[in-house]
Each structure stands twice: as C-alpha cells, then as structure tokens.
C-alpha cells in the first residue's frame, strides 16, 4: 500500500487501476490495457488526452513565466485576457471573474462573495443559500455543506446550519413522483414547497439559489419541462439570486455553450466554472458574478484596505494560458456544435437500453447521460445498495470501458467532446455486454424483485 490518502475512494479498495498514459479518447494502464474513457476523466477532459496545441501553449507559458500571483495590484496578461474572454462568452451581465483551481474552491469563493456583496449594499442579513437535495457542489467544508449527497457529509460534521444552507426538493420526477402524479403536477408540488420554504425563512434572509442545470454526481438528473421557468419566476419574485453551478455542464457538455442555455434558465446572476475550462490539462476554476455586484464591492474593499480573499494560485499564469487556448480550440473547431450532433446520436443510442431488464430510466442531454439500474423494472424499486452498480462499472472496465456509477446504481456517461460516432458505438457495445453480465450476476445472486 502506498502512502497516498485517496479521494472519493473506499480505503479498503485502493490502487485497482493504474493509468499510465492517454491518447485521444483512450487511456492505457500500466499493463498495456486500453480503455475508452467514457467519463472524460471526471467529467472534464473535453479535448481528450495528449492534445498537442494545449501541450505546446503550456510549455511556452512555463518557459516564459512559470508563476506570478495576483495579490496587491500585481497582474499578468494571460489572467486579464482570460477574464475578458470569459466575460464576453458567459450568458451574464458584464461578468467579473475570480480564479481558483477547483470547482470546490470556486463555490467557496461564491459564498464569500455573496456575503461581501450583501454587506456592501447594506443587507448583511441576506446570507442564506438554498441548495437542492441530491446536489453536488464540491467537497471543501463550505462546498460540501452545499452538496446534498449523504456520502459527502457523513462523519465530517459540516457547519451546514451555521453557513445558512437551506435544502429543497431535487427535481427528479422518476425517483420522487407521487403515485399518479404527472410531470407538470410534480413540478408544481416541488415549486410550491420551495415557496413555502422561502416564506418560512423570510426572503429578506435568502441570498441565492444554487443549481446544477443538469446534475452530475447525483445521477445526471434532467429536470422536467417547465421546472426552471417556474423556478426563475419564484426567485425573481422574492429577489433571490440564481447561482448556476456549471462545473460539469459548461463549455459544450450539454450540446450548447452552457447548461443554462440548454435548460432555458435565462441569465444567471452567478456562475461557477472549472473542469472543461482547461479540458483538465491544468487545474483552474472561475467564480463569475454580475458586473454590478463587483462594482458594489469596490468602495468596501478600499475602506478595508484590501479584499481579504485569495489563493496563492488564483489566476496562475499556466492555468490561464491553457484555458485561453482550450476556449480558442472550442470556438475554432466548432466543438459545441459538434457536441450537439454527437450528443444527439449518443442519446439515441442510450435510448436503446430502455427495454433492458435492469434499466429503469434513461436520461441525459448532449454528451452526458445515465442509465438508472433498478431491482424491479415495473415499479422502479432501487437496489438496496450500490453493489450492483459497482458490479456493472467493473464489468465495463473489464471490457475496456471506463464509466462511473453515481447515486447508487446510475451508470453515468460523459465522454470527451471529440468522441466520434464510431467510438460512441464502441462505448454502447461495451456497455451492452457489461449490462448483460450484470443481469446474469443479479439473477444468480437473486438481486431482482
């Protein structure tokens, strides 16, 4: 056993796959086995592995300026250029950007920006944040408090109440509908629950509502039609900011520039970015807020003498240079449009699993999707634990495909944006074999109802 404390890992099941190199949509282990990387790493390697232009710009930047910080009036051109590029690209009003290195730290930053902003405009009591059940927003202390997945909160004793985190319904119709309830009725019910929560807590105390346009780690939940339109109406009515966590759905993943576009969420007040921002070649994240929110903080920071938040690696020149090049490639090669075309094909192929005895629901948009495995296809009864999902994931890996089981028994798909139709076919074929092996396992072990 090595001395590494591994992230999001069962400490009794470490070091099972040693990835040695990658090329395009494939990775290779230290035994020479090839795997189609169906999860783009962790929802992030949009350009796949070994993209020479990105490697070249990283090498050039390292030779020119290996490091420079952004504290105390210092700056550098890659950071300025990236902020300008993103401000022009984001569906926000005159976005201002704060850079970090992960989605978790970006969401931490957003919490602090919210408090700083509402202090600046004389509303310090407006600090609470509504987050949904089964959401995922990171694993730092504050971000994990936003997250609504039990496994990310158990045993950590997080300060959820102290941070003012409120919880509302997740919009998963398949798993949470009442008997005989239509999608429209489901949406009305959970929106009514949200209104009740807001009025109970007092809208004057609530700063923002955070949402992944389409969720990732909680099972690739795609909210029903009408949900976001009704949600936005409620937030506008009660003067609550919309905070879009685009760490997974940003930069073409859903077949559009951002998930808010795909899901019809309008122009958010805040956006969190990471992962595909640099195609994961270098760690970088961004917390984006409306320009007027930033302007409101200027005099307050001057009165304090400094805006007292920042990381050593905020705006690292290497991360900024790589992100600029990745965005250039996205735009030059029309990768968002390509993701829409390939995503339509992927969704068609995933739909062919709807009749499989193990599959309760197929869901997704663009190049992100999931198959929810169930113990009883007729009733949708879930498996008692995640062991069947883990078995399916292992069968995929044994067949040369890396997928990830999330939310217990949902098999997630999130390939690089550069994936070809032929490679999608390969991914689907390998998945089909793995599911058939999983079905055999379930029948032998009497796991089905």
Query: CATH number, domain at 198?
Result: 3.40.640.10
Give the model confidence (pLDDT) of 359-372 as tens digits. 999 999 999 999 99
Phi/psi at 50 (5° precision): 75, 30
Same domain, 328 and 339: no
Same domain, 179 and 234: yes
Same domain, 318 and 357: no
Single out the residue of 152, 148, 142 nearest to residue 111, CA to CA: 142
Same domain, 341 and 328: no
pLDDT at 1: 67
Q: Which structural domain range is residue 180 located in?
A: 54-332
pLDDT at 328: 98
- Low-confidence stretches of the chain (pLDDT < 50) are none
Same domain, 304 and 413: no
Q: What's the structural domain count of the chain? A: 2
pLDDT at 261: 98
pTM, two decimals, is 0.97
Maximum C-alpha span of the chain? 70
Same domain, 324 and 393: no
Q: Is residue 12 part of a domain?
A: no
Q: Which of 332, 356, 388 is the last residue of a domain?
A: 332
Q: Is residue 195 part of a domain?
A: yes
pLDDT at 154: 96
Same domain, 207 and 74: yes
pLDDT at 2: 87
Phi-psi region of 109 (alpha: psi -120 to 50; beta: other; left: phi over 0): alpha
pLDDT at 449: 82
């Amino acid at each position: 056993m090595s001395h590494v404390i591994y992230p999001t890992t069962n400490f009794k099941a470490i070091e099972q796959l040693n990835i040695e190199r990658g090329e395009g949509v494939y990775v290779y282990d230290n035994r020479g086995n090839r795997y189609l990387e169906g999860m783009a790493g962790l929802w992030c390697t949009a350009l796949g592995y070994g993209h020479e232009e990105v490697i070249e710009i990283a090498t050039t930047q390292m030779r020119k300026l290996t490091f420079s910080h952004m504290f105390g009036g210092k700056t550098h051109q890659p950071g300025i250029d990236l902020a300008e590029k993103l401000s022009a690209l984001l569906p926000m009003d005159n976005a201002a950007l704060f850079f970090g290195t992960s989605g978790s730290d970006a969401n931490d930053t957003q919490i602090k920006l919210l408090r700083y902003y509402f202090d600046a405009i004389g509303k310090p009591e407006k600090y609470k944040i509504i987050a949904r059940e089964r959401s995922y927003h990171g694993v730092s202390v504050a971000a994990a408090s936003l997250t609504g997945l039990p496994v990310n909160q158990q045993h950590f004793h997080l300060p959820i109440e102290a941070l003012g985190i409120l919880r509302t319904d997740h919009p998963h119709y398949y798993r949470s509908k009442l008997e005989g309830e239509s999608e429209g009725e489901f949406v009305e019910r959970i929106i009514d629950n949200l209104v009740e929560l807001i009025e109970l807590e007092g809208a004057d105390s609530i700063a923002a509502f955070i949402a992944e346009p389409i969720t990732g780690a909680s099972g690739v939940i795609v909210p029903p039609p009408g949900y976001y339109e009704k949600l936005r109406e409620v937030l506008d009515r009660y003067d609550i900011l919309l905070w879009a966590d685009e760490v997974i759905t940003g930069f073409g993943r859903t077949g559009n520039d951002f998930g808010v576009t795909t899901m019809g969420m309008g122009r958010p007040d805040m956006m969190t970015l990471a992962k595909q921002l640099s195609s994961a070649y270098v760690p970088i994240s961004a917390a984006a807020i409306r320009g007027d929110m930033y302007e409101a903080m200027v005099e307050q920071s001057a009165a304090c003498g400094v805006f007292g938040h920042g990381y050593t690696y905020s705006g690292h020149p290497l991360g900024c240079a790589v992100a600029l090049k990745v965005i250039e490639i996205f735009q030059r090669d029309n990768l968002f449009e390509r993701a829409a075309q390939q995503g339509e094909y992927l969704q068609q192929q995933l739909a062919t699993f709807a009749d499989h005895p193990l599959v309760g629901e197929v869901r997704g948009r663009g190049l992100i999707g999931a198959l929810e495995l169930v113990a009883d296809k007729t009733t949708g009864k879930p498996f008692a634990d995640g062991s069947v999902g883990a078995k399916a994931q292992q069968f995929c890996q044994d067949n040369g495909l890396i997928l990830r089981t999330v939310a217990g028994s949902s098999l997630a798909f999130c390939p690089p944006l550069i994936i070809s139709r032929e490679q999608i076919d390969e991914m689907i074929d390998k998945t089909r074999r793995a599911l058939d092996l999983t079905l055999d396992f379930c029948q032998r072990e009497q796991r089905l109802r």
